[in-house]
Structure formats: structure tokens, C-alpha cells
Amino acid sequence: MKAGLNSLLVGSSEKVISVLGPKASAVLINAFRGGESAIYGAAAMKSAAKLLRGNFITGTVTFAIMSSADIVRIFCGRIPGEQLFKNLLCTAASVGGGSAGALAGASLSSVS
């Protein structure tokens, strides 16, 4: 977050959240607020964009750490490029699916 990546992602995260709209943003962000008072409208959209940026940065770092062993293996000649590609896709799908599942689960639990 401190490296400036957060500020680079502001525009794109706000565009993604604008597609969701204020109602979906409010449901999403209020699911993570716990006992605090609910927020709506533009405040919910800003907060949801910030949550999206944070999750993207965390997911990217997680992907890099989980893939580092495979990257070392290809440079040592232990696995072919095709296997590295498969492993990277699997890791990306796992990290993305985990993040999406956490967001969906939190949103669904707040609706009931």
C-alpha cells in the first residue's frame, strides 16, 4: 500500500465499483463493517473501492509468494515451461477464487 500501488489502482477500482452501483456496494461494505453503523451511497462506494484495492494488492502478493517456488524450479531446469504455466494458472485461480468466495460469503451473510 505504501509503495504507490494503491494510488495507481484508484481509478480502476472506482470504475469497477461504479458498475456494481451504490446498493450492491453498500451490501458488500456493510458486511465487513461488523457492529458499526451502516453506510450507503457514495461513502459505501468509496469504501468498497478501497476494499477492492486492498484485496487486489493482497492477492497479488499472495500469488507472488505461492508461485516463487515454481519460478525457482524452472530456472533450475526441474520443470518445463508448460508446467510452470499450468501451475501459475492454478495458483491464480485459487487466490482469485478464495478472494471472491470470501467477498461473496460476507455479502450473503449480511443479507439475512
Q: pTM for the full model?
A: 0.78
Sorting pLDDT into bands at 50, 70 and 90, what band is 104? confident
Give the model confidence (pLDDT) of 57-83 as tens digits: 899 999 999 999 999 999 999 999 999
Burial tier of 24 (Cβ tally within 10 Å: 0-12, 13-18, 19+): middle
Mean pLDDT throughout 2-8? 76
Residue 34 DSSP label: T
- Number of domains the chain contains: 1
49 touches 24 (CB < 8 A): no
What is the rounded distance in angstroms from the CA atom of residue 65 to the CA atom of residue 77?
A: 20
Average pLDDT, the chain: 90
Domain containing 92 equals 5-111
